[in-house]
Structure 1
């Protein structure tokens, strides 16, 4: 049974792509501590070899040499102390997890786990504990009476662990600050935008291509079903385009990354101009369908974590946190507008259409980013005014192509506030923000028409 579970566990990782494996390793809490444990064992072998085989304790002057009894006592105390501080640190991690889940969102816990600081701190504690424990086990009075390398190293590791513990408390407190939290999530989202929309797909996206297969696409295509239920986590677009070129076929994606599919759900529809059999399993291998969503390529999932922070803040009567999250979402939307032309056609190096993606324009990302927040802030004039201010700030940096989308979103936001202004200053600030946006997007005439309707 144990062999079966181990084999199943190993197969899970061997089937992952390099990108998926890197994300999985980064988001797991065990990988970095294992590396530190291995390093501590190497360090242990070096120090024990120095004391037991080369007699470093006997060669040192009496001031630096430590006898067997003192070394034994020192390692015994440090073993218990290091274990205590390690357990306390893990307990602190659980407290942070609980706070994150209740106050913000359970989906952002992975950000704390994948933090290099968190993983390194746990690695240092675990490695130090393993070092002092094994050192205690290998002490041998019959080989040598005095030690130097082992007690000195153990003492240094104890001091280093204490300094690391102080750092970790500061790190946990800093992570619970909203500005730090949302900024890290924003950077994660910006990285996905750059990695997926720009670096990976932009070189294949086209608007004009050799559309010699238009008649074929109008016919009924062949479908490739998912075969496994779950979320579409990752798609190897580049390899798929190369294989489609070799097989001389054109494909259409029926779903987007982040969509949930059933076992019988069609993932791809393809058209071919020949009677040769297509290896459909080959194309299924380019998809990663798992039980949960991840941020590897899923831009909307990454944005949604910021959206959840804003919505939770509105429910907790914390408008400042909501506003911070709104501006972070807006910055991600600006990046999306600037790095892509929203073409859903992917062509090969000969400009022949190979992949047809689901259509996603700026309206889609704008609604998924700020639409949900707008819905929950519909009775909060101050936060809604901040949404308009964020839209104006966005418009000053957006591709002019997306001005109209921002303006339409703002008008629909304003339509729900005819009778909700309790104070005149609320009304003034709200319409001032709307006017500034109209000026930025060159919609002054539409703004005047809107005021007349009101």
Structure 2
């Protein structure tokens, strides 16, 4: 009875997830794809035994292809044990990869390896092959036929595929342990989140002219509004912006989100404030249904969490005296930040199709993402001048392609970075490289005058 209740609770948990959450959960679980492959192996098993028991393919084939019962039983039993051994060894290798990832890089990037289609398909092939062998051995029966063809043929084919898959898995695991491959995959994931969270979900509602809206908001915030508190504690994993916009338009209200995706809230934390007409009644509970809370952060909509994975790789690499890995992660971050600057509109106001303000987001400028991406690396690299120079080089590359709107943020961050390393210059070459990188950024961001002022100030000291 207890097991039934546990299963019911487990299933109910998945049925309550949104389509996007369910897709993410299935993608990052090791059991889903192997279960599908096992189901297909049972279909293959049914076809094989139907061919041998009903159609008598073993008796109709040439004697060179026909396999008697004893040989079939010996073959299938041997392959069952061999496939189980291969599967077990593969799982051990996966655990080794997991341990390496956690210790050397970050435990938060293990999901990238698990969610890899190659990893899931490899395990699916192994488990499906084992179940085919096991149930073939179980259903072999001398009373139905003495000669077999399809069952042993499928067993041999699956064993061969499993061996080839094992070789592929070794190559796959080795490739994933290469930092360039790993950081590139994390960057792709982050770019996909930017496209999904910023472009497809929010951008259609962005206001085109912020002037009138800002005046309305200034008048609006003078009144207290009505607060809706979270009914759960945890991280905000998802926000359904489309549904919030639709319901806010129906209720003719304006909503201000007090927290962003990835923030941790208590079950008594005000999560949003709304303003309504006098005497209007609002169903507050329905708006809470548009928020998903969980015990951990997820990458579905959380751009910063995805960025933090690359940041952790860089920080761990600096701590492990691995400057090349840190450099690779910094450049991947630079490409990601450049993309955010080019495609993102940081205005926090969302309007309905009629141009009426409906939602006010937490305002996050490019400087916020810049600090979260490179600021932590700058802080933890301490007196590592080499890493500091790489950060300045990446900032220059970002400035060359970024939206001119973000030049000020890039320049301010570059100055902050350079000043933090002034006391750590051991050689004149350090000083020259820093000044050269800083000058390039000044040119790219149109701050040549500020650069000269800094040089004069440093010279006077």
Distance 1:57 1:277 in 2: 76
Q: Which moved more, 1:272-281 or 1:168-177?
A: 272-281
Q: What does 1:146-165 correspond to in 2, within 5 Å?
A: 146-165=147-166
Q: What is the TM-score with the length of structure 2 in the denominator? A: 0.97
Would you say 1:315 and 2:319 are equivalent positions? yes
Q: Which runs of 5+ in 2 are unaligned?
A: none
Residue pair 2:399, 2:407 contacting (<8 A) in 1 also: yes
Q: Deviations over 1:172-212 (max 9, x none)?
A: 00000000000000000000001110111111011536659
3-state DSSP class of the match of 1:113? helix
Distance 1:177 1:444 in 2: 40
The residue number in structure 2 matching 1:17 is: 18
Tell me the distance in 1 between the aligned counterparts of 2:278 and 2:84. Answer: 67
CA distance in 1, matches of 2:281, 2:243: 19
For residues 326-345 of structure 1, what are the structure 2 equivalents within 5 Å?
A: 326-345=330-349
Instruction: Trace 1:242-281 onto structure 2 (pairs within 5 A).
Output: 242-281=246-285
Structure 1 unaligned residues grouped into runs of 5+ = none
Deviations 1:48-104 (A, max 9, x none): 100011110000010000000000000000000000000000110000000000000
1:377 Cα deviation from its structure 2 partner: 1.6
- The whole-number CA distance in structure 2 between the counterparts of 1:8 and 1:279 is 28
User: Contact (CA 8 Å) 1:207, 1:343: kept in 2 or not?
Assistant: no
**Distance in 2 between residues matched to 1:443 and 1:82, nearest whole Å:** 65
Deviation track 1:306-332 (CA, whole Å, cap 9, x = no partner) reads 000000000000011001100111111
C-alpha offsets along residues 328-347 of structure 1, whole Å, 9 cap, x if unaligned?
11111111111112010011
1:32 equivalent to 2:36? Answer no
1:107 lines up with 2:111 in the alignment: no
How far has the Cα of 1:216 moved from its partner? Answer: 4.8
Please give the secondary structure, in 2, of the residue aligned with 1:203. helix
Give the Cα separation in 1 of the matches to 2:221 and 2:443.
44
Aligned length: 454
What SS is found at the alignment partner of 1:219? Answer: coil
- What is the alpha-carbon distance in structure 1 between the residues aligned to residue 367 and residue 277 of structure 2? 36
TM-score by length of 1: 0.98
- d(CA) in 1 for partners of 2:283, 2:10: 27
Q: What does 1:164-183 align with in structure 2 at a 5 Å threshold?
A: 164-183=165-184
Whether contact under 8 Å (2:388, 2:421) holds in the other structure is no
- Residue 8 (structure 1) shift: 1.2
Q: Do structure 1's residue 373 and structure 2's residue 374 form an aligned pair?
A: no
**Structure 1: distance between partners of 2:135 and 2:225:** 64
Which of 391, 401, 422 does residue 418 from structure 1 map onto?
Answer: 422
Please provide the CA RMSD for this pair: 1.2
Q: Secondary structure at the match of 2:145?
A: coil
